[in-house]
């Protein structure tokens, strides 16, 4: 795992700030916590 710290998720033109990101090279799927997921599905 590698965690660079807070990031911005940008979907279209909507920005969600200060998300904790984790890159896992062994993962074959994408996981969003509640806040970015809700922003993604409501965009």
Task: Check residue 15 and give its pLDDT.
Answer: 80
This prediction has a pTM of 0.32
Q: 3: closest CA among 15, 19, 16?
A: 19
Which 8-state DSSP code applies to residue 43? -
Task: Check residue 43 and give its pLDDT.
Answer: 67
Instruction: Say whether pLDDT at 38 is over 80.
Output: yes
Q: Count of CB atoms within 10 A of residue 14's CB?
A: 11
More confident call, 9 vs 29: 9
Instruction: Say whether pLDDT at 28 is over 80.
Output: no
Residue bearing tokens 């590698």: 2
Q: Which residues have CB under 8 Å from 26's CB, separation 6+?
A: none
């Amino acid at each position: 795992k590698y965690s660079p710290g807070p990031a911005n998720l940008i979907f279209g033109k909507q920005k969600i700030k200060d998300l904790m990101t984790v890159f896992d090279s062994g993962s074959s799927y994408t996981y969003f916590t509640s806040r970015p997921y809700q922003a993604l599905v409501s965009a």
